[in-house]
Structure formats: C-alpha cells, structure tokens
Amino acid sequence: MEPVSPLKPAEPRDRKLSIHVVTWNVASAAPPVDLDSLLQLDSQDPNLDMYVIGLQEMSCGIMSLLSDTAFEDPWSSFFMDVLSPLSFIKGNKGGVNICLRLYGYYVSIINCHLPPHLANNDQRLEHFDWILEMQNFEEPDIPNILDHDLIVWFGDMNFRIEDFGLHFVREAVKSQSYSDLWEKDQLSIAKRCNTLLREFQEGPLLFPPTYKFDKNSNSYDTSEKKRKPAWTDRILWRLKRQPHTDSCTPRLPAPGFSLSLRSYVSHMMYTISDHKPVTGTFDLELKPLVSVPLITLKPEALWAVENAMLINYSLTQDFPSSPWDWIGLYKVGLRHINDYVSYVWVRDNQVSISDGLNQVYINMSDIPETEDQFLLCYYSNSLRSVVGISNPFKIHAFLEEDPLGEVQPQM
C-alpha cells in the first residue's frame, strides 16, 4: 500500500447508502395498524439509511386540512411514530419535488399522480414533460431538474394495459404470465418511443398489477365498471449522463456515482385501498465530492451559574452563513426539525471567533436533569436544511458536584 503523505489529505472513502422508496395511493383511507413489512422493519437487518415515502389521494376534507394545520396529518404522524425511534427525521419540505445534496451530489425526488383512465395516455405523457419543464432552480450548477445527478420519480402514474381484454389480462395475472402484458403496458411503450422517458430506468415488473382492487380484499375490481388490472404505481430513476464531444459515443453516468436496485415489489397484504403499495430498495454508491461537513458541532460544558451550555462549532470557508441560522438542542429520537428543546441564534449569542472556531451559549434553564440523550443540530436558513449534527450526549454528563455541594462544570 502506498503511504499517505502528511502534506496530502487522504482521498475520501467511497460511501454506500441504502434508500427505501415507497409509493402508495391510499384512496383517502386511514393508516393501517401495522406497516412493518412495507418499511422492511420485519427484516432482521434492514440496513437502510433513508426512507422516501410518497402517498397519493390522502384525505383532503376541511377537517383534515384544519387538522394538518394545527397538528400533523395522520399518515405522517403514523410513519414518524415508527421511524423516529430509529433516528429517522421528517424534513419540512412540501409539494411534489424535493431536492437535496448528498456528499456534494444533487438528488431530485418526485412524487406524482398523473391523469387516470385508459384513453388519457397522451395527457399522462404531457404531464410528464410539463413537470420536467416547470422545475427550474436558482443554483447555477442545476438550472434544470435534468441537471441533477440522480432523479427518483415515483407515484400513481396511472399507465394502463392496452389492447388486451379484461379476461385475457386477468388470466395472465392469475398464471403469472406477466411478460405477455409488458409489451402492451403504456409506460413501457412510451419508453420505447420517447427519447427523454427512455433515460429513466425501472426494475422488472415481477409482481401483480397493483390496480384496481376491491377494498379490504385481494380481488380485482368486481364492480360494474370491472376495470382491467394495471401497473399504475411505479418507481423510476435516472442517472445524469456525462456529455461526449463525439456524438457516436454513448453517454455514461457520472464517475464514482452509481445506483443499483436491490428489490422492486408490491405488498399484497395491505388492503385498505384499491391500490397496492410498491417499494423499491436501492443501493447508492458514491465517491464523496465533499469530504468535510459544512458544520461541525461539539457541546463543551454546562455552566450551572449561567444556565447555559457552551457550543463550539466550525464551518467550511464556502459555507453561506446567515444571521438567521440557528442551533437547536434536541432529544435523540426527534420527529421533526421543530421538535427542539431549546435553540439559539448563532449571531445573537456568539461569544468568540478564532481560527475558524465559533462559540455560542444556549439557554439550559428549562431543561431538567434527565437520563435522555441529546444532540445539537445546526439549521441553515440559506440552504433551508440541517447542515450539522453533533454526536449524542447526556446533559448530566457535563455536571459534577464539589465537596461543598456546588455544581461545577466538568473540564
């Protein structure tokens, strides 16, 4: 092995992240009692780093809207009841498109619900193009959604099976002869003809069509309409391709950044909706473009007299700091960025700056001594995201009593 020169920093190690994507048209139903299978929590070692959960047709009645405003929608609440004890955090993003950076790479996540019905295939394709055209960004590196290194696009896309009649489709499904149906799947047909859509990949459809079922059953539609089964619920992805000056040479994905599909399945056990949920589990391997965290946080000591904790933090030279940045103190297992126990504005409570090291005090007067573990999060107003998280610690670990019974900080 070649020794590393002390004057040259070591190359950042490759990273492997496991991402679990869920799409489900819940047809206005309330959450079921158990979603462990959907979230792979019934596996002995799920080994997941990130959940991406997209729902369609959530209840939007007036009482639901009032409830969402005052509290939290029941689906989000249910998922976070399960996932927050496992250290997963729900961000404050809204809408159908979420953009984030992973180790310097740009990732876009799209949840969509396209027009229904067999005859509206042209409308679905128009909506696909419209979504791409309408997503513009202020970042110079990613002016368009297609400039992202990875796009994960999923949802109730509503593509249907053409030509074949109801009886043929149901018999093919019953005998698991899915390959007979793939050639007439509208999305598969569109991918063969549409140059842009062809750049999106999908796993093999080795599971039964996910629509339309009688609710509370595994029987396909027995109503008067008797809709044909179809793979309406899909998960696609696209890796950014590097341009070539030679037009004859195929474009390749960005070096050091690859995505592989571990599983692509439906979950027949869930019957609350006329759709079955679909999940895709991916392994994302990347060579970090950013090896140093934007913010590094470290709690130093709890000062009993001042009822405050000293926080040391450092930031990279190119970090876009703002007067509206803040640091929050949280209990481990937080559900949301707003679940802080206490917080401090980094500029208002700053006490010193030296050699890139910043110090602030955070108020601790209302926090009882507890065995709970805490952590610190730095929220960037410019990036609208958490950009630094400390290691977990216990509050009482910073205290010790002297022989006179006075509380002194541990040094």
Residue with tokens 């896309």: 157
Specify the pLDDT at position 92.
Answer: 47
| pLDDT exceeds cutoff 70 at 30 | yes
Identify whether 2 is part of a domain: no
Res. 19 pLDDT band, cuts 50 70 90: very high
379 part of a folded domain: yes
In this predicted structure, which of 174-178, 322-326, 371-375, 394-398 has the lowest mean pLDDT? Answer: 394-398
Residue 245 has pLDDT above 60, yes or no: no
CATH number at residue 340: 2.60.40.2840
Domain boundary among 223, 254, 286: 286
Which residues, other chains included, contact 162 with Cβ-Cβ below 8 Å and sequence gap of 6+?
118, 184, 185, 186, 189
* DSSP for 156-170, written as a single string: E----B-SS-HHHHH
Which tens digits make up the pLDDT trace of 323-375? 999 999 999 998 889 999 999 999 887 887 777 789 998 888 777 777 889 99
Number of domains in the chain: 2
Closest CA relative to residue 20, chosen from 334, 384, 375, 267: 267
Backbone angles phi, psi at 108, to 5 degrees: -120, 135
Which residue is it, tokens 């069509």?
A: 209
178-187 tens-digit pLDDT: 999 999 999 9
**Tokens coding 255:** 């070096």
Answer yes or no: is pLDDT of 259 > 90: yes
**pLDDT 10s digits, 281-321:** 999 999 998 878 889 998 876 554 467 888 999 988 888 88
Instruction: Return the closest-CA partner of residue 389 out of 318, 301, 314, 298.
Output: 298
Looking at the structure, tell me whether residues 373 and 279 fall in a common domain.
no
Task: Look at the alpha carbons of 170, 172, 173, 174 in this order and tell me if their dihedral is positive or negative.
Answer: positive
Q: Beta 105-113 vs 97-102: how paired, if at all?
A: antiparallel
203 located within any domain: yes
| Whether 107 and 208 share a structural domain | yes
State how far the alpha carbon of 97 is from the alpha carbons of 52, 102, 154, 168, 398, in Å.
Answer: 12, 16, 11, 37, 42
Residues 33 and 89 in one domain: yes
| Lowest model confidence (mean pLDDT) among 1-10, 106-115, 169-178 | 1-10
301 within a domain of the structure (yes/no): yes
Residue 406 clears pLDDT 60, i.e. is over it = no
Locus of tokens 């010790």: 400
Residue 399 lies in a domain: yes
For the chain, what percentages of helix, strand and coil (3-state, to nearest 5) are there?
15, 35, 50
pLDDT score at 246 = 52
Report pLDDT for 88: 82
| pLDDT given for residue 248 in this prediction | 54
Q: Which helix (H) or strand (E) holds 150?
A: strand 150-156
What's the Cα-to-Cα distance from 388 to each of 17, 80, 156, rounded to whole Å? 18, 21, 35
Structure tokens at 228: 């044909």
Q: Contact 110/154 with Cβ under 8 angstroms? A: yes
Please tell me which residue, 237 or 244, carries the higher pLDDT value.
Answer: 237
Can you give the pLDDT at residue 154?
A: 96
What's 50's domain CATH number?
A: 3.60.10.10
Q: Which of 286, 314, 331 is the last residue of a domain?
A: 286
Q: How many CB atoms lie within 10 A of CB 402?
A: 8
| Dihedral pair phi/psi, residue 169, rounded to 5° | -60, -45
Mean pLDDT of 8-30: 83
Taking the C-alpha atoms of residue 54 and residue 305, their distance in angstroms, rounded to an integer, is: 48
Task: Kindly state whether residues 107 and 183 are assigned to the same domain.
Answer: yes
Same domain (yes/no): 256, 366:
no
Same domain flag for 163 and 212:
yes
In a domain? residue 8 = no
Query: What is the percentage of the chain residues whose pLDDT exceeds 90?
Result: 52
262 and 392 in a single domain? The answer is: no
At 136, give phi and psi (nearest 5°).
-120, 150
pLDDT surpasses 90 at 59: no
| pLDDT score, position 192 | 92
pLDDT above 70 for 165 = yes
Q: Are residues 301 and 282 in the same domain?
A: no
How far apart, in whole angstroms, are the C-alpha atoms of residue 297 and residue 41?
A: 31
Structural domain range at position 265: 15-286
Give the model's pLDDT for residue 326.
96
Residues 43 and 129 in one domain: yes
Asked if 29 and 125 sit in the same domain, the reply is yes
* Residue keyed to tokens 């950042």: 12
Q: Is 213 a residue whose pLDDT tops 80?
A: yes
Per-residue pLDDT band for 31 (boundaries 50, 70, 90) equals: very high
Report the chain's mean pLDDT, rounded to a whole number: 84
Which range has the top average pLDDT, 51-60, 64-73, 89-98, 237-246?
51-60
Q: Is the pLDDT of residue 224 over 70?
A: yes
* Per-residue pLDDT at 410: 43
Task: Extract the tokens encoding 232.
Answer: 């309406």
**Boundary of a domain, candidates 261, 286, 311:** 286
Q: How confident is the model at residue 249 (pLDDT cuts 50, 70, 90)?
A: low
22 part of a folded domain: yes
Q: What DSSP line would sit under 37-50, residue for residue?
A: TTTTTTSS----SE
Is the pLDDT score of 53 beyond 90?
yes
Residue at 76 is within a domain: yes
Q: Are residues 62 and 204 in the same domain?
A: yes
- Which residue(s) pair with 238 in the sheet? 151
Residues 338 and 263 in one domain: no
- Of the chain, the percentage scoring pLDDT greater than 70 comes to 84
Banded pLDDT at 87 (limits 50, 70, 90): confident
